[in-house]
Amino acid sequence: MNYERPYYEDINYHPLMFYVIFGAKADELEISRERHKVDDIPEGLNMTMLTREKNSEYMDNLIGGTLGKLLKEEQPELCEKIQKENIWAVVNGEIMQDDNLKYLRNTIGVVQAFLDTGAIAVLERYAF
């Protein structure tokens, strides 16, 4: 697969990534080069684990407001499951090297690895 960007010009704008993985288990995380196609963690990408015990207000804010209303209307069962999950992972950051699209493949691979731990859903905040 070709990850090159032939018309790329560095204008000092870097892609922002923000994924929330509901029900992720960091202790079971195994990122595989073969299975997840991850050959490097992009510079600027962060992985943070949130727990209800320590981060409940922030977690509630992540799925509050308009997003929370839409989720409750469109997927009430999923919304309930998400709110019951005590551990979430946040994969986010500003990608520093974006002259090719490998950063995107690698970031999606990290998210997929978290899903493989038994996570129930992923929210891509910037797509919303």
The whole-angstrom separation of Cα 22 and Cα 80 is: 12
Listed in sequence order, the residues at least 6 apart from 84 whose beta carbon sits closer than 8 Å to its beta carbon are none
76-100 confidence digits (pLDDT tens):
999 999 999 999 999 999 999 888 8
How is 93-128 classified by DSSP, letter by letter?
Answer: EE-S--SBTHHHHHHHHHHHHHHTTT--EEEETTT-
What's this model's pTM, rounded to 2 decimal places? 0.90
For the chain, the domains span: 16-124
- The residue assigned the tokens 């090297």 is 97
pLDDT for the residue numbered 118: 94
For the stretch 25-81, pLDDT in tens is 989 999 999 999 999 999 999 999 999 999 999 999 999 889 889 999 999 999 999
